[in-house]
Amino acid sequence: MRRPFVAGNWKMNLTLAQGKALAAAIAADCPAGDSVDVALCPASPYLLPVKDAIAGSGVQLGAQNAYFAAPGAFTGEIALDMLLDVGCQWVILGHSERRQFFGDTDALINKKLIAARQKGLGVIFCVGELLAERQENRTEAVLETQMAGGLADVDAAMFEGVVIAYEPVWAIGTGVTASPEQAEAAHLYLRNWVRSHYNNAAADQLRIQYGGSVKPDNAAELLSQPNVDGALVGGASLKPEQFLPIIQAARGIVK
């Protein structure tokens, strides 16, 4: 059984006041014991205030990145211990914006992922192809490379705390969404990848989020696909009137 999981990636957006108000609005509608897992991933300066705003609700806290090393001389970086210290349950790793703009390679993502799992932090591991790669029919090859690289030396026990987010880069922040069929095909490929590299239980339990211009009007159809277990939401997670209907669309879906 896979509980749906909807996460909001706020990226480098919002003021402190806006973040607190948004988190409170989401928390008010997501009680503890809800049928859907919900996480908010604010920018690091807002982790603590958001933690306070969601206290007592069913909403979980996530970060957008972390460094793999132990605390020390790494100016500008954030240690996994620090994320745990402020109450994070999740960290997003391998987001395409990290890959594109900040040099996060598969090897670096792999180090971060292993370190996060060793600390017991849940990982939302993002994979996805560029538009040119899809047009050249290389989607599966790209996913294979990203999965093999990001999950190198990750054994089945460590993999248990990993959620995969399939995020076609051409759909992120563009308003262009993968069709339900395109999303389902990629998710099925990813689940089968896990089946062949780990085992049936790991594949059957794995939650795979879709990310890329998820909105209230396309969420239900995407989430109804057999292998779509949730959503990683960017732009639409910044407004309660858009994010709450997406969460609502995920409620009650158990696969």
Q: Does 213 bind ligand PEP (CB under 6 A)?
A: yes
> Applying CB under 6 A, which of residues 211, 219, 243, 249 lies at the interface with ligand PEP?
211
The whole-angstrom separation of Cα 170 and Cα 183 is 13
Sorted by sequence, the CB contacts under 8 Å of residue 107 that are 6+ apart come out as: 149, 152
Instruction: Give the residue at shortest CB distance from ligand PEP.
Output: 234
Instruction: Select the span of 33-41, 187-195, 208-216, 218-226 touching ligand PEP (CB under 6 A).
Output: 208-216
Closest contact distance (angstroms) between CB of 165 and ligand PEP is 7
User: Catalytic: 197?
Assistant: no
Contacts of 88 (CB under 8 A, 6+ apart): 47, 61, 62, 63, 121
Q: Which of 212, 228, 230, 250 binds ligand PEP (CB under 6 A)?
A: 212
Nearest approach, Cβ of 62 to ligand PEP (angstroms)?
A: 12
Told to check if 113 binds ligand PEP by CB under 6 A, we report: no
Catalytic residue flag (residue 187): no
* Span 221-240, contacts to ligand PEP by CB under 6 A: 232-236
Any idea what the Cα angle at residue 39 is, between residues 162 and 22, rounded to 5°? 160
Going by their DSSP bridges, the two strands 230-233 and 162-166 should be labelled as unpaired
Q: Which of 95, 97, 184, 187 is catalytic?
A: 95
Listing DSSP states for 93-147 in one string gives ES-HHHHHHS---HHHHHHHHHHHHHTT-EEEEEE---HHHHHTT-HHHHHHHHH
> Interface with ligand PEP includes 128 (CB under 6 A)?
no
Q: H helices of the chain, where?
A: 16-29, 47-54, 80-85, 96-101, 106-118, 131-135, 139-150, 156-159, 180-197, 200-205, 216-223, 240-250
**For ligand PEP, what does the binding mask look like between residues 164 and 183, x meaning CB under 6 A?**
---x----xx----------
Answer for which of 91, 163, 169, 214 binds ligand PEP (CB under 6 A) is: 214
Give me the least distance between CB of 215 and ligand PEP, in Å please: 8
Task: Decide if 26 contacts 236 (C-beta within 8 A).
Answer: no
Catalytic residue among 133, 167, 184, 187: 167
Q: Which residues bind ligand PEP (CB under 6 A)?
A: 9, 167, 172-173, 211-214, 232-236
- Which residues are identified as catalytic? 95, 167
